[in-house]
Structure 1
Amino acid sequence: MKYNKNILKAEFINRPNRFHANVIVNGEEIKVHVPNTGRCREILVPGCTVYLREENNPTRKTPYDLVAALKGDMLISIDSHIPNKVVEEALNNGKVEKLKDYTNILREKTFGKSRFDFKISKENGEEYFLEVKGVTLEDEGYCRFPDAPTERGAKHLLELVEAKKQRYGAGVMFLIQIEDVEKFSPHDERDPKFGEALRFAANNGVDIFAYSCIVTEDGIEINKPIEIIL
């Protein structure tokens, strides 16, 4: 998907809080919004090149969103609002092989005490709940999730197990917002309970997907499945 908005290159200075960063654009220091409350410490380092998406909204306090950054030569999308849009586009275009027969796609549907990102169904009425997790943490081609403890993430996995027990299809998609990656694992060092929940879900029939993305300065799209190591 293309952003269809103006994109500017900038130099990252610092991130005083979860929501804002200071950058230099054309020699001028400005404050921008960071659409990702995760740490991103391995990505947003002083002096790195970042990309800003112009947001023409008169009610905003900042005119730009910081949507991507260069880590060496690797371009990483850090916009946490984008994975669902990318996955929706992929589902509509049949790019997730196991899910290509699910042609009715609904967003933000509730099951039990959780609201999943997608509820998709086949023409015969067979239904499937899909949760999406954006991944930005990478080290030499090895990606992990999460980059900080997420009690909510583990809860979603256990609800997917319950959906499976009630004969729904169920899966979790780890959308890696980077192109040149090779494998994915849960980040047990940061959140052991999430890793336990993910392995429990896999052992109880929940599908685990991990897909890389093609990331450009002005867009992002799903690329291909990568190896999952649980």
Structure 2
Amino acid sequence: ARALVKRPRLLLLDEPLGALDKKLRGAMQLELKRLQHEVGITFVIVTHDQEESLVMADRMAVLRDGKLLQCDTPHAVYEHPADRFVADFIGVMNFVPGKATADGVKAADGTRIVGTVPSPLASGAAAVASVRPERIRLFPSPETANRIAGTIEALAYHGLDLQLHVRTALSPKPFLVRVTADAADRRPVSSGDAVELGWDAADVRIFAD
């Protein structure tokens, strides 16, 4: 109230919700959005909580070492990150290193990840293919563009969904896969199970490595 009473043209909020518990923080995110639309003043919000920035922002900016890497809508930044750093910083991403090909990336073990290669990347250049955990399906249909085998190392239950850590030959790090609670109930899996993962070419983002 004190900050708004003089109707400033710009309001800077430096981690305003940092000390709140999770439920109150979620409610206040929506309250601040409502207040901003009501008063019509530009709010600049600084936060280290990536999920909070996705919820609250009309436009979001990602800075690194004083450089602006990307400034766009939350949807565009999340779904179409400008580079590997942004892809890794906003949300969770699986990365597969390899060499660029005409239609994707060839991993070290010879597996081809199909996706759209950006024009600056020449064939044979070091590249990395990436895919979000929620875009990966367990036991995909045969026509799915990208399919790999793996073994479940660990499971993390979050209530709304189940996060799987799947060991594959593509990366030294386990693949993270998010399965809805409904899908997990229909086809239960356990640690140690062999599974097949699949995702569409449209869900692959490829960057210079």
User: What TM-score comes out, normalization by structure 1 length?
Assistant: 0.25
Larger fraction in strand: 1
- Normalised by the length of structure 2, the TM-score is 0.26
Higher helix share: 2
